[in-house]
Amino acid sequence: MSLDSPEFSRGALLYQGKAKQVYATHDPARIIIHYTDGATAFNGLKKAEIADKGVINCRISAFFMEKVAAAGVPVAFERNLNDRDQLCLAVDIIPVEVVVRNVVAGGLARKLGLPEGQKLPAPLVEHFYKSDTLNDPQINESTAVLLGWAKAWELRAMHEYSLRVNSVLQAFWNELGIDLVDFKLEFGRVSIGSATAVVLADEITPDGSRLWERSTGRHLDKDVFRRDLGDLSETYRELYKRVFGKTV
Ligand code: CDP
């Protein structure tokens, strides 16, 4: 699917991320997120190019952003312009990342000495300070409010939206026999007249999620790259096929 748009094209590079670039457009209220094939882990220490990862993530994120928007979560995503470019509202990113967990894995297992795979009795919502130099340390909501990173009402909205996203994603993956173990979300502020609203920004992709096939325990996410479990390009192609019912 290619929705080439004559009206919006990439302007100045505003931000060079690890797997994405952000560009200005002629409209100051909109940006373009460009998905590259780059993959990094351990805060950039491990790097690779993964064939077609950008195209796969661009489409998967659009698919889920539309789904959560339909469930009432305001999103910055507007539409895909082509295979790798996504038109979004320009937001002021809130430097507090939200991780939702349904099953113990990764950082939580390491920190608390819990076995990976242990089911949590309810979704656990965690907060991390978005800082590459500090390696995204875990914080709590009081820290975020006290240091002025987010207002209490913004954190409440983020919490509610994160749980709603979890319900939507969990239901979807469940149907496919895949457990949604955890995922990370980022939010931003948009101005509507003199008011500010919180919207879901960034991406919903297997780069920022853990997805385990229920019948085999196979990892269908970026842990394949982080933990050298196999070929990430092949894994993402397989995931794409399960989501869209066709090859990329
Ligand atoms: O990945 P790691 O074990 O270091 O951290 P985690 O806190 O267990 O990660 C929880 C979830 O958030 C996983 O699905 C990660 O892919 C995602 N995450 C992310 O997308 N970006 C980060 N900077 C940290 C975690």
What is the rounded distance in angstroms from the CA atom of residue 24 to the CA atom of residue 34?
11
Residues of the chain with CATH 3.30.470.20: 92-243
Tokens of 38: 């780059």
Q: Please count the other Cβ atoms lying within 10 Å of the Cβ belonging to residue 118.
A: 11
Spell out where the chain has E strands.
13-16, 20-24, 30-35, 38-41, 46-49, 77-80, 85-89, 92-93, 96-103, 119-129, 138-139, 178-192, 195-201, 209-213
Locate CATH 3.30.200.20 in the chain: 13-89
pLDDT tens digits, 147-163: 999 999 999 999 999 99
Q: Ligand 1, residues 20, 182, 205: which to mutate, most atoms within 8 A of Cβ?
A: 182
For residue 26, the CA-to-ligand 1 centroid distance in Å is 34
Query: Confidence band (pLDDT; 50, 70, 90) for 4?
Result: low
73 with 161: CB under 8 angstroms?
yes
pLDDT tops 90 at residue 3: no
Ligand 1 atom with least separation from CA of 126: 7
Contact indicator for 23, 10 with CB cutoff of 8 Å: yes
CA of 81 to the centre of ligand 1 (A): 28
pLDDT at 1: 41
Using a pLDDT cut of 70, give the percent of the chain over it.
98
- Please name the residues in contact with 218: beta carbons below 8 A apart, sequence gap of 6 or more: 212
If one counts every other C-beta atom within 10 angstroms of the C-beta of residue 222, the result is 24
208 lines ligand 1 (CB under 6 A): yes
CATH of the domain spanning 92-243: 3.30.470.20
Q: Which atom of ligand 1 is nearest to the CA of 136?
A: 23
Q: Is residue 190 a contact partner of residue 91, using CB atoms and an 8 Å limit?
A: yes
Q: pLDDT tens across 23-81, in order?
A: 999 999 999 999 999 999 998 999 999 999 999 999 999 999 999 999 999 999 999 99
* Nearest residue to 199 via CA among 161, 166, 149: 161
13-89 to CATH, choices 3.30.200.20, 1.10.10.10, 3.40.50.2300, 3.50.70.10 = 3.30.200.20
